[in-house]
Homo-oligomer: A and B are copies of this chain.
Amino acid sequence: MFLLVNGTTGESMSLSVAERKLLAEEWCQRAKGRMDNVIIHAGCMSLKDSQDLARHAADIGADGIAVISPSFFKPRTAESLRKFLQEVASAAPALPFYYYQIPSLTGVNVPVRDVIEDIEKLIPSFRGVKFSGSDLLDLGQCVSYSQPRWSILYGVDEQLLAGLAMGANGAVGSTYNYIGRYVNQLISAFETGDLIRARTIQFKIQELLGYAIKLGFDLGVNKQLMAKVSGLFLGPPRLPVMPCSPAHAQLIAEKYHGIFV
């Protein structure tokens, strides 16, 4: 099982480098011996900061790093994105490296398949992709090209079943912090060939997320649901993310309990 520290849900992009290091250290210490893999997200707008975070992850004994593309200055070609990732990876060459794709937030639309072409020549430590886009032509071509030691993890929670059908070999998603149990059931059903059951669970997740999206689903809502459903109190989000209104949180929690009795 993977643990991804300082990812999107962790609001890493809203933290200072020092804050990110502190969190990484805490998680590495506490997870030792309890989780298989602690992956630290090291991506940020600045190559220099990303390299600093990669080096730090190696120093504190993380099991791997993941890197998002910069998104203020967006790479316009696979070539520039690959160079950026290579420069970060080279700061922690011994750590397994994952490319973290999430085009809805970054606005970077370089096909992942183009990024991973012969990527081990540039990044020998490359071990996979967190694919959080909805372009399943691209996902399929990544799976088709994937090497045995790579993981292609799918990250769009509301259509996980489609990602699994297309061959993704795992899932990473923010809502799994509170519906993780059902996601595990979905994956088990899929793996045993029980598509009817997998679909039934997927539809429930869609019903919940579809409802939340209509109310204005974002990280603030997500955090509130973690608190309401899983009892994980994480404090309020940092600006510009706004806290979820108590009224909305209540409605979504009720919907959750109505769907997953």
User: A: which residues have CB within 8 A of B?
Assistant: 11, 13-17, 19, 44-49, 52, 69-77, 79-81, 83-84, 87, 105-107, 113, 134-137, 140-141, 143-144, 158-159, 161-167, 193, 195, 199, 202-203, 206-207, 209-210, 213, 216, 218-219, 238-242
- Residue of B73, B105, B158, B161 near A14 (CB, 8 A) is B73
Contact B48 A140 (CB under 8 A): no
18 additional A-B pairs beyond A14-B46, A84-B239, A143-B203, beta carbons within 8 Å, are A13-B46, A14-B70, A16-B17, A16-B52, A46-B238, A47-B239, A47-B240, A69-B240, A70-B240, A72-B105, A72-B106, A73-B241, A74-B240, A83-B242, A140-B199, A140-B202, A141-B207, A165-B165
24 sampled A-B residue pairs with Cβ under 8 A: A11-B73, A14-B46, A15-B46, A15-B48, A17-B17, A44-B45, A47-B239, A69-B240, A73-B241, A87-B239, A113-B210, A137-B206, A137-B209, A140-B199, A141-B207, A143-B199, A144-B203, A144-B206, A144-B207, A161-B166, A162-B165, A166-B202, A193-B193, A193-B195
Q: Does more than half of chain A's interface fall in helix, strand or loop, or is it mixed? A: helix
* Chain B: CB-nearest residue to A140: B206
Question: Which residues of chain B have C-beta atoms less than 8 A from A207's C-beta?
Answer: 141, 144
Q: Using Cβ atoms and an 8 Å threshold, which residues of chain B touch A45?
A: 13-14, 44-45, 72
A216 to B105: give the CA distance in the assembly, Å.
Answer: 24
Chain B nearest CB: distance from A117 CB in Å?
13
Quick one: closest B residue to A145, CB to CB? B203
Partner of A162, one of B79, B84, B136: B136
Q: What are the nearest 6 A-B pairs in CB distance?
A: A165-B165, A162-B162, A75-B240, A136-B159, A13-B72, A144-B203
Q: Taking A47-B238, A69-B240, A72-B105 as contacts, is the C-beta distance between A136 and B158 under 8 angstroms?
A: yes
CA distance A93 to B49 in the complex (A): 28
| A74→B106 CA distance, assembly (Å) | 10
Given A11-B73, A166-B159: A16 and B49 interface contact (C-beta under 8 Å): yes
Instruction: Choose one: B83, B107, B140, B159; the contact of A203 (CB below 8 Å).
Output: B140
Determine the chain B residues whose CB is within 8 A of the CB of A83 once the complex forms: 239-240, 242
CB nearest neighbor in B for A13: B72
CB pair B162–A203 under 8 Å, yes or no, is no
Residue of B nearest to A196 (CB): B167
